[in-house]
Structures are given as structure tokens and as C-alpha cells.
Structure 1
């Protein structure tokens, strides 16, 4: 079984060796186990991903040593800052290029490291323009609710909050393509009753997902903790035992002001967030078991 891959790059002078090691450490590379046998030295720089690439025909004009990054502009600034400690300002302009587009769907900049002995070593730093490049293949949900059926449970207690949550949830479902006939709203007295209703609706097998909405405000007694713990446990247990996704949109806040903020006033609408989470989970369940196509190339 192949374990790893190491590319050995010979450096002509100890001065260049120290300069190269200093740059890589400044950029955050993890230092592996080095060696010094009296006749030479080695320094290992570890990266989470390595590639060995073979080319033929017309080759792109890139340095032999290419380093892929995710924040090219930030890396460019870090390299420039490091160079200010080793080179004169007027030298840097000729040694460090600006990030430029390439013909292989990426951006690239190069840096030349020099020594007093006129030795040069060129490094290339690049970032793919494909935002999915290098990402592991994963099953992810879409946000299209077309053809899906949802039950939305809300409470009559704290309706000044839960009505706002309900409005946000319905907005999320309808904006994502759910038909009004495929969304059923169920009102229960309070948060305590949500798990029971959720379980009944899930076991009916009429819905692809359940959206639970409610609001608990801390009072001056332990009632708040007791109710919240059982509500969260009950909703989670219903989801696990029925296999139907349950989106959790039950607010637990210290004050009414905090609840209003989370119901659309300042901090988004938790009902909308719960609805989109439900849509995504239904999509994921439908995709599980289907073959996924890996992305290739740069």
C-alpha cells in the first residue's frame, strides 16, 4: 500500500537552504524530521496534500516547485512581508510577481530566492479558480423543495415570536419551490407538546420532513431547563427512530428581546433556517446510495 510521496529538491548552498527553510516556516508549513550527517542537511516540510504530476508535449511556463494554496492574496502578502527582512525594497519588485491568471484556470505568482553567490531558486504559488477543486467528494443536499412534503409544527404559546418563526419557515419553503398543498401546519399548545406531535406526524409517513418551531424564555425558576431538555430530547428521538428529518427551530432565549432578534428582527429568522435545513436533509436522503462523480484536473 502506498503511504506517502516525497519530492527531494537539492539546494546548492547552505545559505539558500536556510533561506528556503525560513520562508516555508514563515508560511506555516509543518516541519517534519530533518537530518544532518555532517556532510549535508535535510529539512522536511509537510503539507496535507501532495501531487506528483507528469507532463508531455508543450509544458506550461511554471516553476518546477509549485505550491497550491487556498488564499493566494494572503500568501502573497506573507511572502512579501518575509522578503522585507531579507531583501532591499527595490529588489523585491523584480523577484516577486503579482498574482496573475493562467491558461489552466488558476492564478499564480512566483518568487525568486537569491543569495550573494548569484544562486536563484524560483517557487510558484497558485490557487485554482474552481471553488470545488480539491474538495473531497461528498453527498450534499440541494435547496429545491419541489415535490417535497413538509409538516410545520408551531406553538400557541409565545405567538409574538412563533408567528414570526412560522412566517420565516413558510417563506423558506415556498421560495424553494414547495407547493402550498404540500405544507401542513400544526399548532400545539406549547413547546412541551412539540415532540409528541412530531412523532405522530413522522410515523404517518405522509411527510418528507418535520419543521419544529417554538420559543422558550428563561424565567426565575428551573422550569426552563426542564422543558428545554425534554423538548430537545424528544425531537431528536423522534427523528432517529422514524428516520424522518426533523428541523430544530425551537428558540431558547434569556429575554424576549433576544427571541425577537432571532425571529427576524436582527439575527436572521430561525424559522427560515430550520426550513432550509429540512429541505437540504430531504435532498441528502434522496441522494444517499446514488453514485457520485469525482472532480478531476486542475
Structure 2
């Protein structure tokens, strides 16, 4: 007699539930994992707010999706996560609307960038990948609290265990390395997702915070590898472990829609190679360090001027 397989062993995009009536915000929705996630959600009836840095590129992506899915409910809005003023300009009108957001997928990111600063003076990868999403999540929290089965999904990377954070050097001025800065920002994503859920539970909020990572998925972000060594590493890892972006999006979709997934879950590939098998996987150090998570949270509050408001 064969042993029944668990849901995560068989889960694919075909298992997405009917999402009619749900409003989902996806950052970085014009390409890569964000575009695929948007398409799959819209195909199941979700109303998707496509948060994009480049509106012209976003219009082209939305037009392509509407050709594939004539009934797709898509709304395009400008968001540059590098700039906290842009985050406020995007989030505050959305938060003030009567219709709430049900899910926020913090997907957008930049990788292996040369050293530059955000308009507020912070290293660009930390600012975009972490601070922008931190601010966005807190600014949309009241809207999400009014949503149905509300959750925040933050996309990290399987590389986070190698990340290090220098929270006394947010400008990245000491020995800057594009690769180290990227991996550090992905550690920040992981720490944020876990700490956010801890604080939401403590406050009695109905919102859940979850983490997802796509494994080594072949997406346009890999084109950012700049040095010959970086390009060689990406090519070798991609050839051995890489999955196509359609499979890479599955952990994001799983985290955003599976009904009984506990807050604080970290969803990723449950095997390194072969066809994607999304499901909860364990977090490892340093992402499970509560003291580091609290320190990152405190720094992020100070930088953004935002605090998590308890449920009334």
C-alpha cells in the first residue's frame, strides 16, 4: 500500500483557491517572480495592485496579462522602494481607501548593486529590500487588519544564513561589497518577517507575517551580476540548482494563499533539486536570533519614523 503524499509534495499553481473578492498587493509586479505571481493570482480572480517602479514597463506587463486574461482585475501604481517618500505616496492613499488590502507580497528587490545611497542616505540594497518593505508593511497595516485572512509575505533568499548586518553603518561605507550587501538585506528580510509576526501575535492582530524564498530561480535579477566571478557563480549555481521562474513563484503563492499556514512560517523548496515542492522549511541561524531581530526592528523604526500600532 502506497503512503499518501502530503499537500506540499503535490501542491502546484493548479491548487490555488478561488480568490474572487480578494485584493492583493504585489511589489515588483512587472517582471520575474512578481509578474508570474500576479498572473497566477489574477487567473484565480484576485484583484491585484501591481506596485512597480517603472510605470511604462508596468503598463506593458499589465497589457500582456490582459491579453492572456481578459477578465483580469489589475491596478497599476508607482512605487520606488528605494525612496521612503515614494513608499508613503504609494501606501497612504491605498491605506485610506474603503476597500482593504487582504494580502501584501513584499517581492521586489535589487541585487549586487554598486554602492549608492537612497534619497534618505542609506545603502541602496538595504534601503530597497528591507527598509522600503518595512515602511510599506507598517503603512498598510490598518488596511490589512480590515482584510479577509490578512497576511504579509516577505520574500527572502536561501542565502540569508551567510548574511551579516552592520546596523551602525546603514550607509554601507565600511568595506562595501555588492554581494555581501545583498545577502545582508536578505537576512534583514528574514529577521523582519519573524519579528513582525511575533509582534502581531503579541498585539492580537489578525494579520499573519510569513516568509517565502524561491530557491535558485532563473529570473531577471540574476542579470545584475556584474563581475566575471559573480557571473560565473550565478551561471554554475543556476545550471545545477536553478529552476524556472514559474516554479520559483510557487513558494510565494503557497505562502500567500494556503489557508491554515501558521504565522511565522518560512516557505521554500522542500528539496534542493528537481521539480519544486513548496512547503514550510526551518529557519536557521542567524535568522532565529531574537535579539538581532529586535535590534533591526528598533533601527528600522528609527529610520522610518514608523511604529506598529496595536489593535484597538
Could you tell me the TM-score, scaled by structure 1's length? 0.35
- Greater fraction strand: 1
- Greater fraction helix: 2
**Which one has the largest radius of gyration?**
1
Could you tell me the TM-score, scaled by structure 2's length? 0.33
